[in-house]
Every structure is written in structure tokens, then in C-alpha cells.
Amino acid sequence: MPNMGPAGWASLAQGVRMRDRASEEELARLFHPHLLALAASRLGDRETAREIAQEAILAVLEALWEGRVREPGKLPAFVVGTGRNMIRDYLRRKGRRPKPLSLGSDDASISDPASGPCETPPLEKKEERDGVFEALRELKPADREILFLTLAKGLSPREIAVEIGLKSETVRLRKSRALKRLRRKLKSLTRKGLLDHI
């Protein structure tokens, strides 16, 4: 996995702009899971989620080919923003609101899109978005770094172990504990309606 700081994202964006096939595939590999997860959680309809994720990837590729991405170092924000816009457009066309995020609920299955509009309105405020940031901030610095290397840089526990000088088993354990803490914290935020921010 390449080092995906702003320079790495800019390099990937540049590769796509140059129609480098490997860069295009890398972009899809990195972002498609994220977009599909985003769409699935908001739409609750697997086929539509697949279509939207696919369309969002294509829209990002087109924007890069045509040089329309102004800050290639912030490629993830552009990709996620594109996905969100497409979901919003879809919901607007269908006259629906997004499916509420239900962390900690006991839902047995994903709701049927035909079952009508969801009740929870979208939450847009900045402080609501910052719930995740604050939860991350409360973690121990080493745990935060492990999560960063895992999720933002895509490193395996073994690679992280080499990077920060811990045993890979310790990395795995700390990551698991950190996620557990975040899960607890974010579930309480969700109950207060602070997480869903489409």
C-alpha cells in the first residue's frame, strides 16, 4: 500500500489523469468498498447501493481525467463528497429521506426501499460531524496511530508492527480495544443523533 498522505493522493490522482490503468484500478480498489458501505447504509437497498457506488467511482474518474479536481491531495474528501451527492440526488429524485443510521439497534434486516420514506432527517451540523473526531481524540495516541495506519493507510498489523516497533499481536489487540472504545462512544453519540451526517 502506498503512503497515502496528501502527496500520495495527488500522485494517484495524477496517475488517473494520465489514464494510467493501474492508478484507475487502485482508486477503485481503495474507494469502492467505502462508497458501497456509505450507499448501503443510507439507502438500505443493495442493488441501488451497488449502482451508486459504481457511478460515483466513474464520476470521480471522469473528474480526474478532465482535470476538474482542484485539490488532488484531498482526493478522499472529493470521492466521499461525490458519493454523498449522488446518494442525495437519488433520494431527491425518489422523494425519500436517507435511512437513519442505527448503530446499536436490533434491526433484523435492511429496510425495503419501497416501504416509504424514513423518519429521521439528515443531520448536517459541523459539531455532529465532529463526534467521530472527538471520539478519536480521546483515544491513546498510540491507539489512534494504529487505527490511522490500519484504516487510512491500509497497513496490516504486521506492517504496523514494523512501523511503530510493537509486536503484531500487540497491534492487533490495541486496535481491537480502540475500536471497541470507539464503538461504545459512537453508539452513545448515535443515540443522541450525532453521527448520521449525510
Partner 1 sequence: MDCKRIEHEEVVEKYLAGRLDRAEREEFEAHYLSCAKCQEELELVRAIQEKLWEKGEELIEETAQPSRTLRVRKAWAFAAAAAGLLMIIGAAVWWQAKGPGRPPAGPQAPPSSWIALARFEPPLFIPPALRDEEDEASQLFRSGMAYYQAGRYGETIPYLRAAARLDPNGAGIRFFLGICLLLTGETAEGIEKLGATISLGDSAYLEEAHFYRAKALLAQMDVDGAKSELRWVLSEGSDLKEEAARMLALIR
Contact with partner 1 (CB under 8 A) among 19, 151, 167, 191:
151
Considering the complex, state which of residue 95 and residue 141 has its C-beta at the smaller distance from partner 1: 141
Among 24, 41, 91, 123, binds partner 1 (CB under 8 A): 41
Is residue 152 at the binding interface for partner 1, with CB under 8 A as the rule?
A: yes
Residue 5 binds partner 1, judged by CB under 8 A: yes
User: Does 82 participate in binding partner 1 (rule CB under 8 A)?
Assistant: no
For residue 9, the minimal CB distance to partner 1 (Å) is 9
**Window 44 to 73, contacts with partner 1 (CB under 8 A):** 46, 49
**Do 97 and 91 touch, CB atoms closer than 8 A?**
yes
DSSP string of the chain, one letter each residue: ----SHHHHHHHHHHHHTT-HHHHHHHHHHHHHHHHHHHHHHH--HHHHHHHHHHHHHHHHHHHHTT--S-GGGHHHHHHHHHHHHHHHHHHHHT-PPPPP-TT----SPPPGGG---SSPP---HHHHHHHHHHHHTS-HHHHHHHIIIIIS---HHHHHHHHTS-HHHHHHHHHHHHHHHHHHHHHHHHTT-S---
CA atoms within 13 A on the CB side of 55: 15
Min. distance of Cβ 53 from partner 1 in angstroms? 10
Rounded to the nearest whole angstrom, what is the least distance from the CB of residue 86 to partner 1 in the complex?
16
Q: Which of 156, 168, 170, 188 binds partner 1 (CB under 8 A)?
A: 156
With contact defined as beta carbons under 8 Å apart, do 136 and 147 qualify? yes
Q: Is 85 in the site for partner 1 (CB under 8 A)?
A: no
Our finding on whether 121 is near partner 1 (CB under 8 A) is no
Binding site for partner 1 (CB under 8 A): 1-3, 5-8, 10-12, 14-15, 18, 20, 29-30, 33-34, 36-38, 40-41, 46, 49, 76-77, 80, 101-105, 107-110, 132-133, 136-137, 140-142, 144-145, 147-148, 150-152, 154-156, 163-166, 172, 175-176, 179, 182-183, 186, 195
